[in-house]
Structure formats: structure tokens, C-alpha cells
Amino acid sequence: MVRNPLARALLLPFSLLYGLGVSLTDFFYRQGLLKGVRFNLPVIGVGNLTVGGAGKTPHIEYLLRLLIKHLDVAVLSRGYGRKTKGFRYVSTRDSAETVGDEPLQFKRKFPEAVVVVVEDRALGIPEMLKSHPEVELVLLDDAFQHRSVKPGLNILLTEYSHPFTRDFLLPAGRLREWPGAYRRADVLIVSKCPPDLSREQAETLLAELQPLPHQKVFFSRYRYGRPYYLLDRRYTTLLENDWEVLLVSAIARTEYLLDFLQTQVAEVKSLEFEDHHYFSRYDVAQIKRHFDHLESPKKIILTTEKDAMRLELHRSYLQKNRLPVFVLPIRVEFLFGQGPEFDELVRQFLLEFKV
């Protein structure tokens, strides 16, 4: 949300106009003038109400990790930021420019999954099934606002520190829809929670979110793994408490990541870019300059998995300048022992699915 009160006030009329358009679209869907397509196979949608930062990618990876050993799974994504258009299968040899950073990350980590980038999911699913009739489950990435497909299970994420209840519509805020749109969700996941979140704190937020009787609510956090070398993931390292770290990121919000790193190393310098930013040659030269200015002899560059997909476009420069760029992997964990309950909810949805 825009923090400057004057700027927010100036943007408010534009937010209201935007909200009028959103309300009109919602009205058309509720009246049946526009309809979402249902398919004869299970579809799970994962999305949020804001323009980023809630953790859709790690939660889709959680579902892939849970289901890929048992089912043939496909992931459909718009491929935000790619320089291509139309329907395209993602391969491990693609680049972020051709398919987008998140779809490439899915394919690299889960090569057995069918990963597709396409603007129109309603057309993309049947097109994908022509070549892959074996697919038994479709995961839709960032599809909460793309209502042309009606998922059988609709999962909505909201960040613990920035819940949708405290935000406002674009451009004054970061919401893509009115907060009341959360009612379309079957499952709410409060993401990026503090590891030590108490039951009392969770109950306070629950009261603020006001879930409907049918909506299940879960609380999740990130568990960070061992950093690996960007250019060869066989080489890993441990974060040490006497290290100085240059964090390079182009994600929606870095607070959660910075909070973690500040407990692990001596000092963190953060070099931040806009979400999904494509690093230029100038940018990577600036990264080198900032790294060279770090005074400690024990220093590394850290980046996120999503940013790594775009940084690797400058592989030759990183190799030539011997920049120690390491990638910090993450996994989703559910708090309060909710993991088995969430897994069972997904399994029951699949078992009870009817064409």
C-alpha cells in the first residue's frame, strides 16, 4: 500500500474507478452473464488478492511435492514477464525470458511435471490435454482473478504481516479485487507467519479475516534450506554468524527474508529491484561493485530461487568475475501441526472429485 497519505489520497479516485470495473466483472459472473469453465479432471487454483508477496510459488511447490509421486500433474501459468506470447510448453533448457521465472523454476525443480505458459487458461487446458491426455490434475498458478476457469479447489493466500483486510485497491493499495472476494475461496492460507506464532495471535487474525463456515484456514511459514551455488547446485554452503551477505532480490517483499538472514549472519546489505525485474548488464555490474565494497573477507552474494532464474542470464559475466552467487531455497511448512490436515483435505478433494 502507498504509505504517503497525500499520494494515497491523490490515487484514491483511480482506485475507486478500478474498483468499479472489478465490481462490474464480479456482477457479470454472479449473474451468469460470464461463466467459468469446469473440466472433467481436478483443477486446484492457488492465488491471492494482492499483486505479489504472498508466496504462491512455494505453495504450488508444496502441492507438487505432495502429489507428483502419485499423479501426473500439470502446472499452468501466465508466465509473467516472459518475452514470448501464446501457448508454450516449458522445458528445463528454457530461460526466464522465454517462459518466465516461476514456470522455469517449477520445471527445473519438478522436471516430471507438465508445465505450460499461456495467457488464457480456459484455452490452455484443452490444448495441453491434446498432447498430454495422461494428466490427472491441473494446478493453476496465480489464477484467483482469472475466473474463466472454475477450480474445484480454490486456495487463497494472504501474508501474515500484510493481510488483505488492511489493504486497498490498486493503485492506492496492492489489492487486485475488493477484500470481499475472499468469499470465493475454499481454503485460506495465512503465509509467511513468524516461526513462533502463538495460538492467541493466530486467533486474533482469524477474527479479523472472518472466514466463512465452509472455509478452512491454515497458517504456514518458510523453512530455508542450505544455499547452493547458482552456476552449479552441487556446491552448497552453510550461513555462518561471522559472514557479511549481499542480498540481491527482485521480489514483492523482502522483510520476511531479511528477518531470517539477520538471525544467521553478522551483517546483511540488501540490493533490491522491482518484482520480476530482468537484471541488465549494468545491474550485475552494480552487484559486483556493491559486493567488492563489503569489507569482511567472509562474504557472499545471496539471492532467491526466483531471482536466480533471471540472474543466470548473465552466467558468463558471473563466471568471468568469479562472483559467489548462492541461491537460498525455501519450503513451506504448516504451523500448529496443520500439515497432515491440509494434505488430507487435498487428498479428499481428489478422491471425491466427480466429473
Q: Which of 123, 116, 124 is nearest to 99 (CA)?
A: 116
Positions in the chain whose pLDDT score sits under 50: none
Average model confidence (pLDDT) for the chain? Answer: 96
pTM of structure? 0.95
Torsion of CA 99, 103, 109, 112, to 10 degrees: -90
Q: What pairing do the DSSP bridges indicate for beta strands 88-89 and 330-334? A: unpaired
Residue 135 burial (CB count, 10 A): 17
Which residues, in sequence order, are bridge partners of residue 28?
none
Where are the domain boundaries for CATH 3.40.50.300 in the chain? Answer: 40-223+334-352
Residues 11 and 171: beta-carbon distance below 8 Å? yes
Where are the domain boundaries for CATH 3.40.50.10700 in the chain? Answer: 226-328
Which residues, in sequence order, are bridge partners of residue 245?
268, 300
Task: Provide the grid cell at 351.
Answer: 478422491
CB within 8 A of 134, min separation 6: which ones? 72
Q: Which of 217, 221, 220, 222 is nearest to 345 (CA)?
A: 217
Q: Which of 177, 174, 135 is nearest to 44 (CA)?
A: 135
CA distances from 201 to 16, 194, 195 (A): 32, 10, 12
pLDDT digits (tens, 9 = 90+) for 307-354: 999 999 999 999 999 999 999 999 999 999 999 999 999 999 999 998
Which residues, in sequence order, are bridge partners of residue 169?
175
Architecture of the domain whose range is 226-328: 3-Layer(aba) Sandwich (3.40)
Task: Provide the grid cell at 323.
Answer: 562472483
Helix (H), strand (E), coil (C) string for the chain: CCCCHHHHHHHHHHHHHHHHHHHHHHHHHHCCCCCCECCCCCEEEEEECECCCCCHHHHHHHHHHHHCCCCCEEEEECCCCCCCCCCEECCCCCCHHHHCHHHHHHHHHCCCCEEEECCCHHHHHHHHHHHCCCCCEEEEECCCCCCCECCCEEEEEEECCECHHHCCECCCCCECCCHHHHHHCCEEEEECCCCCCCHHHHHHHHHHHCCCCCCEEEEEEEEECCCEECCEEEEECCCCCCCEEEEEECCCCCHHHHHHHCCCCCEEEEEECCCCCCCCHHHHHHHHHHHHCCCCCCEEEEEEHHHHHHHHHHHHHHHHCCCCEEEECEEEEECCCCHHHHHHHHHHHHHHCCC
The pLDDT score that the predictor gives to residue 6 is 77
Is-cis flag, bond preceding 171, omega within 30? Answer: yes
The pLDDT score that the predictor gives to residue 2 is 61
The pLDDT score that the predictor gives to residue 1 is 58
CB within 8 A of 326, min separation 6: which ones? 227, 228, 229, 230, 237, 300, 301, 302, 303
Distance (Å, rounded) from C-alpha 121 to C-alpha 131? 16
Reported CATH class of domain 40-223+334-352: alpha beta
